Amino acid sequence: MKTSRGEQSRKRQNVLQSSREIKTPSAQWIRKNVYTPSIRLSNPYFWNRLKKRNIDIREIDEALQSCEIIEILKKHNPIRLLVNGYTFKRRPIHIVFSVWPFSIDNETSSYWLDVVTAYEPEPSRWITPTKRKGQS
């Protein structure tokens, strides 16, 4: 049985709506789960960008240990988190994650975070590592 374009669009909107309503993990959750399978750093694009941007994986590890969530990007499906952290040498690093929620049982929720990319915030776009230009 075929579905109409209108039905497909409504279903897509329902998926987007439900993903926008999910709870996202806290920075504390991210820091606690850095060394668990809940945070996946397996995206080839991520590794390619690290190399091009001269960011070492140890710096990602250091940044995640001190990270704070600076934006929740709900326009994406799945939702993305932009986190800022600092290396031991105080270099700011932004890391973007896709958030994949799942339920362990009816009362317990958890997440998988897939890394999308990482970069050092550009002064042309950021007033500080945690505040974009043009934001009040």
Give the SS3 label for residue 12: helix
- The per-residue pLDDT for 8 is 45
Q: pLDDT tens, 39-80? A: 999 899 999 999 999 999 999 999 999 999 999 988 888 899
Residue 9's alpha-carbon distances to 5, 13, 80, in angstroms, are: 6, 6, 22
Contact yes or no for 94/83 (Cβ under 8 A): yes
Which pTM does this prediction carry?
A: 0.78
- The per-residue pLDDT for 7 is 52
Q: pLDDT tens, 12-45? A: 444 434 444 567 889 999 999 988 888 999 899 9
Q: Which of 47, 43, 64, 65 is nearest to 56 (CA)?
A: 47
